[in-house]
Structure 1
Amino acid sequence: MVDVELPTPSPTGREVLLKVERSGVCHTDTHLRHGSYDLGARGSLRLVDRGVSYPLVMGHEVVGTVVAVGDQVSAHHPGDLRLVYPWIGCGDCAECDGQRDNYCAAGRNLGVARHGGYAEYVLVPDEKYLEDITGLDPSWAATLACSGLTAFSAVHKVLPLRPAEPVVVIGAGGVGLTAIAVLRALGHDDICAVDLSAENVAVARGLGASASVRATGDEVSKDIVEACHGPVAAVIDFVNSGVTATAAFDALRKGGRLVQVGLFGGELTVPTALMALKMLTIRGSFVGTPEELRSLVALARRGALPHIPVIDAPLDARSVQDALNRLTRGGVPGRIVLRAADA
């Protein structure tokens, strides 16, 4: 991790330049630092083969103050505090035309394919990617751009369900805790949190999980079924390793749904007959759409969304390094958010 000197951009057209006030630290950044994803028996996927160029200024959970706008910007002005939707598409394909930027095959994601928010300033290519967060704590609001959005979108891939149908959340880090908060905000009652960390499980209970499993044994699926009093309707796996995905699959009831979110790597081998006989659904989920972020921010501004713990740290290269090291080791109880020195 090194400091990189870049010129401050001047916005044109619909571009907006923001001074970064907060920047959340995401586990995706640990993969960017490592340079690849684990594909199990298929080896690894190098991020440079996916269009990532180094050196890269990471950071995609960004809250900033507008400092300059292009000549076609109409709705934002210097001094506005805004949350950035970072999962920016190419702008030319059918998915982008349909406001599904995160489905774009040639995405230009902030902090991934273009320089992001671990910086003094960030250039957003279109004002449509900015959200008003008036009334929200900026540090918590920053987490909504990825942790919140990822959880919100994944939850909506298992709902609607009866409130008493068990939904299992594997991984009670920042994203998993937000999923629990979203489920509770939407009126779901039966939520089982699964994590290695006793501290994370305790935080999950405080946010509204009705059951929990410490995933320290060899029979996690059995422990889940026992904690939920039977096979479950849905599992959202925010770890998504070979071990957790297998446990999730084995815990599903007939008609159950598994939503795979985490990027820890590995593979899942499933019996093809059981897929048909049990009418199971396995679905991947990657962040969310701009409309989903708008809905999430609206939920937060209504005061309906419980806050996950936020750990503040300075916005500098050393803090980025330390935060990524903590995430790599695991067990961070919430989300680390970096704060600019004058914010």
Structure 2
Amino acid sequence: MLRCYQVAEFGKPLTATEKPEPTPQGREVLVKIERCGVCHSDLHIWDGYFDLGNGKRVPAANNGALLPLTLGHEIVGTVAAAGLEARSVRPGQRKLVFPWIGCGTCPPCRDGMEHLCAGAQQAIGIFRDGGYATHVLVPDEKYLLDIGDLDPGLAATYACSGLTAFSALKKIGRLADGHSLLIVGAGGVGLNAVALAKAVTGQAPIVADIDPAKRAAALQLGAKEAVDPRAEGALKALLKATGGVSGAIDFAGAASSFEFAYGSLRKGGHLVTVGLLGGAVTLSIGLHVLKGLRVSGSYVGSLQEMRELLDLAQRTTLPALPIATHPLEQATAALAALKAGEVVGRIVLQP
């Protein structure tokens, strides 16, 4: 039997459910789950809406999240069974599941950008049942990637948290000496970015977060400085020390975090905004143009970027992300702890 914890009603505790294990057909693969990360994106679906700012919300159901739904998109497990057309996998292999699956036919999908699918999205744990379970059905073997000797708990976080951080850092690109990188928000995704920053951009980041425990964790992962953005004069001091940063990434995605990151930029600077806490901001068009600034949105990452990240993680010694492993039965409690801001690093569930 397949055991899972599902959102049966938005905002309510997850419901324990048992149902028969699916039999994979064609290129489908059934994966027995070893670890599944608990992501902030799960909270939006659990709550039942996405905040667009200025009082506007998109109901999760209108965005495609239909109930009952098994959350969880950061999955590592072993192959349990495969359809007759699957050729590259065999039972017992440990794999990471790439969850950002698209329709396969729209222009972004044809360009290898399934995570930006403009058609019938099939993302695991969002539009189809995911990893808060003992097993998950993956629609094609191509979405299974080798993790080598990586710790399965850490590797699971790479499917979203790490991939999101990696893709955002790639948009900033390599920074020469004398150029500074700012990371705003040291939650699970932000801390993954801190761990990856030096390898991807060449620079250790300055980190801004309101939580002293998360600032401490960022320093342990290699940040060269950690500041409280709410402290009096924090932005002015940052500008004085750096002359303005060349690249900034906002992993919180609130109006206040965006404004701090945007205000930190030097002329020609680039802000990549990632977080989905919600809100809205107003920019001065003239100042934006005269300073030659760029603002980019970044949403998770592509299958190719997932391969690149796993390759980097397997050949590079990266700082160890703080990870707490909880039994699957504590899925609701894990979501509640994340919502309350009590998690430093990442929680992963273990069936």
For Structure 1 versus Structure 2, the TM-score category normalised by the shorter chain is over 0.9
CA contact (8 A) 1:57 1:119 kept: yes
Q: Does 1:295 align with 2:308?
A: yes
Contact 1:168 1:235 in 2 (8 A): yes
> 1:329 aligned to 2:303?
no
Determine whether 1:60 maps to 2:44. no
Task: Kindly provide the CA deviation profile for residues 99-120 of structure 1, in whole angstroms up to 9, marking residues without a partner as x.
Answer: 1111112321100000000011
**2:21, 2:138 → 1: CA distance?**
13
State the alpha-carbon separation in 2 of the partners of residues 7 and 85 from structure 1: 24
Which range moves more in the overlay, 99-108 or 186-195? 186-195
* Whole-angstrom distance in 2 between the partners of 1:192 and 1:303: 22
Return the alpha-carbon distance in structure 2 between the equivalents of residues 284 and 220 of structure 1. Answer: 25
Rounded Cα–Cα distance in structure 1 between residues aligned with 2:141 and 2:195: 29
- Work out whether 1:320 is the aligned partner of 2:331: yes
Q: 2:235 aligns with which of 221, 233, 241?
A: 221
Does the CA-based 8 Å contact 1:258-1:281 persist in structure 2?
yes
Cα distance change on mapping 1:218 and 1:10 into 2, 3 Å: farther
State the alpha-carbon separation in 2 of the partners of residues 332 and 173 from structure 1: 8
CA distance in 1 between partners of 2:342 and 2:266 (Å): 29
Amino acid at match of 1:50: N
Report how many residues are paired: 337
1:157 alignment partner, SS class: helix
**Is residue 133 of structure 1 aligned with residue 147 of structure 2?**
yes
Mapped partners of 2:77, 2:242: distance in 1: 46
**Cα displacement string for residues 222-267 of structure 1 (whole angstroms, at most 9, x for unaligned residues):** 34324x4321111100001011111111111111111110000001
1:147 is paired with a residue whose SS is helix
* Conserved 8 A contact 2:271-2:294: yes
- CA–CA separation in structure 1 for the residues paired with 2:156 and 2:211: 24
Answer whether contact 1:190 1:210 (CA < 8 A) is retained: yes
Q: Would you say 1:51 and 2:64 are equivalent positions?
A: yes
Aligned letter for 2:152?
P
Q: Compared with structure 1, are the counterparts of its residues 187 and 163 closer, same or farther at alpha carbon in structure 2 (3 Å cutoff)?
A: farther
| d(CA) in 1 for partners of 2:42, 2:238 | 30
Identify the match of residue 339 of structure 1 among 334, 341, 350.
350
Mapping for residues 1-343 of structure 1, pairs under 5 Å: 1-41=14-54, 43-106=56-119, 107-186=121-200, 188-217=202-231, 220-226=234-240, 228-316=241-329, 319-340=330-351
In the alignment, the residues of structure 2 paired with residue 26 and residue 163 of structure 1 have an alpha-carbon distance, to the nearest angstrom, of 34
Q: Is the 8 A contact 1:86 1:109 kept in 2?
A: yes
> Does the 8 A contact of 1:58 with 1:111 survive in 2?
yes
Q: TM-score, normalised by structure 1?
A: 0.95
Q: List runs of 5+ in structure 1 lacking aligned partners.
A: none
The DSSP-based 3-state class of the residue aligned with 1:19 is strand
Q: What does the per-residue CA deviation read over 1:283-327, in whole Å, with 9 as the maximum and x for residues that have no partner?
A: 1000000000101001111133322111111112xx111111111
Kindly indicate whether the alpha-carbon contact (under 8 Å) linking 1:20 and 1:119 is maintained by their aligned counterparts in 2: yes
Q: Aligned partners of 1:320 and 1:191: how far apart in 2?
A: 32
Query: How far apart are the structure 2 equivalents of 1:315 and 1:196?
Result: 30
The Cα RMSD (Å) is: 1.4
- Quote how far apart the aligned CAs of 1:164 are: 3.4
Letter in 1 for 2:168: A
**Aligned-pair CA distance for 1:140:** 0.7
